[in-house]
A and B are shown apart, each in its own frame.
Chain A
Amino acid sequence: DTGVSQDPRHKITKRGQNVTFRCDPISEHNRLYWYRQTLGQGPEFLTYFQNEAQLEKSRLLSDRFSAERPKGSFSTLEIQRTEQGDSAMYLCASSAPFRSTGGYTFGSGTRLTVV
């Protein structure tokens, strides 16, 4: 399977704990995106990487959220001091260079539940 891989698929954590998610994009894709999706809503943009550089970050994103993409390969999204409002599906997507930004391939997501 050469799709976008996300790990873990599900995460349950207590409020106040830190969590980290991993995304492995399609190998030839240099662009990587993180989105958050809550029930009954469309995905909401969080951040974008081109290779290892984080080029765009949502102004709505709390300082508790941080993302990295070392060496332009896999990416991690960390949420510090989780709150119940962070409960959502976290989606990673990637796209090839020179391809329209709309042409993403999404992973199946990590579902976070904060209790």
Chain B
Amino acid sequence: QQQVKQSPQSLIVQKGGISIINCAYENTAFDYFPWYQQFPGKGPALLIAIRPDVSEKKEGRFTISFNKSAKQFSLHIMDSQPGDSATYFCAATGAGSYQLTFGKGTKLSVIP
């Protein structure tokens, strides 16, 4: 059972454009939603995270939008740069558990 569904699987964006990655979750007990960025040969690195008591969180060029009623959240990367080319994972945790449930990832390519 996949508890966090992520789309699209891959994304190509022009430099300066907006990259949007979407995730949907099933478990209503989830209460923390981080996004991770992973470069080839490296472990995932925490990018930004949100709790369901807010609808949006912004850090620099990265914004999370959260819709609790729809059980969906998304990552927006503004002014996308070639250096942003990586695989992005959404994740969720909660209900007293310490494990993160990850989506399958989105491979982002930002072309000049």
The residue in A31, A45, A56 that gathers the most chain B C-beta atoms within 10 A of its C-beta is A45
**Contact call B93/A44, Cβ cutoff below 8 A:** no
In the bound complex, CA of A31 to CA of B98 (Å): 9
A42 to chain B, nearest CB (A): 3
A104 surroundings in chain B (CB, below 8 A): 46, 100
In the bound complex, do residue A106 and residue B44 qualify as a contact, i.e. CB atoms below 8 Å apart? yes
Contact between chains at B43 and A45 (CB < 8 Å): no
Choice from A31, A42, A55, A105 contacting B91 with Cβ under 8 Å = A42
**Cβ–Cβ < 8 Å partners of B91 in chain A:** 42, 102
Within the assembled complex, what's the spacing in Å between the Cα atoms of A64 and B97? Answer: 23
- A-B pair number, CB within 8 angstroms: 68
| CB atoms of A102 and B104 under 8 A apart | no
The size class of the interface chain B forms with chain A is: 20 to 34
Q: A108 touching B104 by the CB < 8 A rule? A: no
Chain A stretch 37-72: residues in CB contact (< 8 A) with chain B: 40-45, 48, 50, 55-56, 58
Q: Across the interface, do B49 and A109 meet the contact criterion of CB distance under 8 Å? A: no
Interface check A25, CB cutoff 8 A: no
> Total interface residues on A, using CB and 8 Å?
27
In-complex Cβ contact of A56 among B36, B43, B99, B103 (8 A): B99
Instruction: List residues of chain A with CB within 8 A of the CB of B44.
Output: 43, 91, 106
B32→A106 contact, CB < 8 A = no
CB-defined A-B contacts under 8 Å, sample of 15:
A4-B43, A42-B89, A42-B91, A43-B44, A43-B100, A50-B98, A58-B99, A91-B44, A93-B43, A101-B98, A102-B33, A103-B34, A104-B46, A105-B46, A108-B42
Q: Which residues of B contact A (CB under 8 A)?
A: 4, 6, 32-34, 36, 41-46, 49, 89, 91, 93, 97-105
